[in-house]
Amino acid sequence: MDEVAREIEGLRAELWAANDAYYLRDDPVISDYDYDMAMRHLRELEAAHPELDAEDSPTRRVGGAAAFSPVTHAVPLQSLQDIFSLEELDEFLDRCARAAESDNALLCCVEPKVDGLSVALTYERGVFRQGATRGDGVTGEDVTHNLLTVENLPKTLRGAPERLVVRGEVYMPKTAFEALNGRRESEGKPLFANPRNAAAGSLRQLDAKVAAERGLRLLVFNIQDMSGPWPAAHHETLDQMEAWGLPVIARSALAGKDALAAEIERIGETRGETPFDVDGAVIKIDDLALRGRLGATSKCPRWAVAYKYPPDQKPTTLLDILIQVGRTGVLTPKALLAPVRLAGTTVQYATLHNEDFIREKDIRVGDTVLVRKAGEIIPEVVGVVGTDRGPEAYSFPETCPVCGGEAARQPGEAAIRCLNLHCPAQRLRGLIHFCSRDAMDIEGLGPAGCELLLSRELVRDAAGLYALKIEDMASLEGFGEQSAQNLIRAIEQSKTRDLSRLLYALGIRHIGQRVAKLLAGRFGSWDALLAADLDALRAIPEIGEAIAASFLAWAALPSSQALIGSLKAAGVRMTADVTDPAPDGVFAGKTLVVTGTLSRMGRDEAHARIERHGGRTSGSVSKKTSFVLAGGNAGSKLDKARQLGVPVLTEEEWWVMIGGTV
């Protein structure tokens, strides 16, 4: 029994961690299929050992806790019970037939399961008033400002009832997702794993302009609540929503196991042809009165199930291994494959991760490899299948494929890098990164424009941007007089960005946004930072020897000194906005985790105030955590803090500790 209890606790911890990553950070740590399998196994163990059941089990809760302003759903947004075989579909239909006390085949609606972010939309007198995410099913996040940017979300409806709440799915079209990841890759940013996480991340942007740029779309599939009389059947509610002007999910109304199985198979075979990701088929009882009799559990309705498709993986031939060079010189291998159909799309490229992965799997050009696409847009090579092997082991290049310079692995790293700082590939990626939104934010100068400037030798590095003139830009393809003026104005405005933005924009290894803010906040100016030695840098919490040494090595290069000198001469700001965190502040030497919804401010502002009072913040709770600041609707992080005995602060207690000041 002790072994079973340990397995159950391990599964719960794994699933809560996966929930936190998926719903709150939009950064999944396991595949959808692995999550489904772990959840199913946990349900089976809890059913077999009811004495080990717990109210806070992930099998009893939906999704993640709210992170924006909380919205309580008048009608809970429940999740669906997953099934994975036609036998389980038979069991579901038989159970519903018994409740209906009928021998006739029940009419069901079958809909593609859109892999997006579930939302509830509220209309009053036909006017859109509020939109909220599902959250934990009872309390969601108010994302109205971002939903207003969704192009096909109607702001007004024709002939709608006095009050109407509908449920739908916000998704990012595949084409928009691929374009977004293409931009992020060119800027050296982490890629989104799939359109669902890209859509969720877009809806959680504080700046609605970011959401507006992402090309989000909506499909509605259910009436949650409304004033006035209801239709008798689900398919009638879908027809009614279409008549009001809402974009409604495609569906088929069918009866009989064979007809339903055929439709499930059809959706699975054609899911690659839809503009959105499909990770299953939803089967719903059509009769709304029967739904009422069937009822629901605390988490799932008993009148609907989601048939989940297994991961799609197939063998194909590895034709070649291509090497791409990133902004920091990392050589990344990509598989060129004989085209293979996966999840309805043709796949010709897949990730190979790094040299260690290729060596461990002994992957060779000419091998038959297994390629997987389990709800992920970016396919991956799983390993080698069969005995018909390529002629020889693959050798990772010792020189850069772009510039021919030396490529080597630094101690303690998995990546191999081009050591030539003047490599054209690095120069291009570096310039794109410098101009990106989170860096110097030069609006109107994207990857194509950067490539054009370098190819025409109008700039050699980032400092060259500040010498550009309107006539330089107006002569280039794609730029007219007005767009050239706008770009030169944007370049001029970028001179005012503070030191932390500049530090991040320079693309120094290990200097991300967080570290850049720490350095800028501690030293205040470039000259003060440059005067710091290794010990002074390491004295800053979170700055280890690797980060400090990386900065000092970069700053010592003649090319770096020349770049900074040119930027200074151009008038680029070299000072910080923020002041040094108080070394004797109330949180000096302490690590805090913020969870839940704060009433006075957003989470980013709370982090900033903690840091200004000498503390540091973390995204996860451990035994080393000093305090957990718990706002409303705090979830798994609060639970873990209690399990580990970490002190928990209410917002009021925290506010008193910082003196109710900045």
Residues marked active site are found at: 113
What is the rounded distance in angstroms from the CA atom of residue 7 to the CA atom of residue 572? 57
CA atoms within 13 A on the CB side of 23: 26
Distance, CA of 242 to chain centre: 31
Stated as kind and residue range, the H or E segment containing 513 is: helix 513-523
CB 562 within 8 A of CB 570: no
Stated as kind and residue range, the H or E segment containing 114 is: strand 107-114
- Write the DSSP symbol of residue 285: E
CB 591 within 8 A of CB 626: yes
What DSSP line would sit under 223-277, residue for residue?
EEEESSPPPSBHHHHHHHHHHHT--B---EEEESHHHHHHHHHHHHHHGGGSSS-
What is the radius of gyration, based on Cα positions, of the chain? Answer: 27
Q: Which amino acid is at 256?
A: G
What is the rounded distance in angstroms from the CA atom of residue 67 to the CA atom of residue 631? 9
Output the CA torsion 543→545→546→551 (10° steps).
Answer: 70
- Write the DSSP symbol of residue 385: -
Q: How many CB atoms lie within 10 A of CB 537?
A: 22
What DSSP line would sit under 152-201, residue for residue?
TS-SB-SS--SEEEEEEEEE--HHHHHHHHHHHHHTTPPPPSSHHHHHHH
Residues in the chain: 662
Tokens of 158: 């024709």
Secondary structure of residue 620 in the 3-state scheme: coil
Tokens of 443: 């609006």
What is the rounded distance in angstroms from the CA atom of residue 23 to the CA atom of residue 101? 40
What is the rounded distance in angstroms from the CA atom of residue 386 to the CA atom of residue 381? 14
- Best CA proximity match to 389, nearest among 370, 366, 360, 357: 366
Its sign, for the CA torsion 603, 604, 609, 614, is positive
Distance, CA of 458 to chain centre: 36
Distance, CA of 114 to chain centre: 16
Residue 644: C-alpha distances to residues 64, 420, 485 (Å): 21, 48, 58
Tokens of 521: 């906040």
For residue 121, the cross-strand partners are 131, 166
CB 37 within 8 A of CB 13: no
